[in-house]
Structure 1
Amino acid sequence: MGAIAGLVLTAAMFAYIFWPERSFFVQRQKTRVDYLRERKDAIYENLRDLNFEYLAGKYPEQDYAEQRANLEDEAARVIAEMEMLERATPVR
């Protein structure tokens, strides 16, 4: 009896977790700006990690400077594209 109750509980749990949402209002599609925001956050996190590891002595000065410049350039491109898309999109 306990095994049957466990199977029913497990099936109910999986159905609750993995059942697709039927309401389209709940399922919002990501826009390009959403992806760019996520990328910007990842770049900033990488910059923080790079700075921490450099201060811990894991990177030589030249490698640190190159990686930091690359990450800053990428961040600038992402932010510029975000601003361009936000200006082109009308506010609702």
Structure 2
Amino acid sequence: MGLPGMLWIFAGGADTAVLLACLALAAATMLFVFWVHYEPADFARLRSRLDELMDRRDTIYDNLRDLKFEHRAGKYAPKDYEEMKAAMENEAALVLSELDQESAREVARNPGTPRKRAPAGGGEA
């Protein structure tokens, strides 16, 4: 008689055996989920400064697109729209400048590596 048969006899029936199996599975799942502790520092080295700048650039472009949509919908007065648009465009220019500088540094660090150009606006290449 194998282990399942012994559980059947020991537990006193199928319902109890299924209940015990479910409890064991739940305990194992909880142990797995809560036992592993990830530290943010473990993943920090995976994101480069270049990745952060590209994400920031994409976010600014998304915000500009949303601002334009909301202005067309009448949510903002023309003066407010122009002020917010100018501020976002200035921020985008700074980010693009930083992105160019960081790209140049990356190329200088790895001169033999071909550069993959990141698409503007977060689209796929």
Q: In terms of Rg, which structure is larger?
A: 2
Counterpart code for 1:86: S
Higher relative contact order (CA 8 A, sep 6+): 1
Distance 1:8 1:52, change over 3 A: same
- How far is the alpha carbon of 1:5 from its aligned partner? 1.4
TM-score when scaled to structure 1? 0.75
Residue identity over aligned pairs, in percent, reads 36
**Residue equivalent to 1:71:** 88
Structure 1: distance between partners of 2:64 and 2:47: 25
**Residue equivalent to 1:24:** none
Gaps of 5+ in 1: 22-26
Cα deviations by residue, 1:55-87 (Å, 9 ceiling, x for unpaired): 000000000000000001100100110111111
CA RMSD for the aligned pairs?
2.8
Gaps of 5+ in 2: 1-17, 114-125
- 1:62 to 2:79 alignment: yes
Structure 1: distance between partners of 2:96 and 2:48: 15
**Residue equivalent to 1:88:** 105
Distance 1:13 1:59, change over 3 A: same
Count how many residue pairs are aligned between Structure 1 and Structure 2: 87
Distance 1:10 1:34, change over 3 A: farther
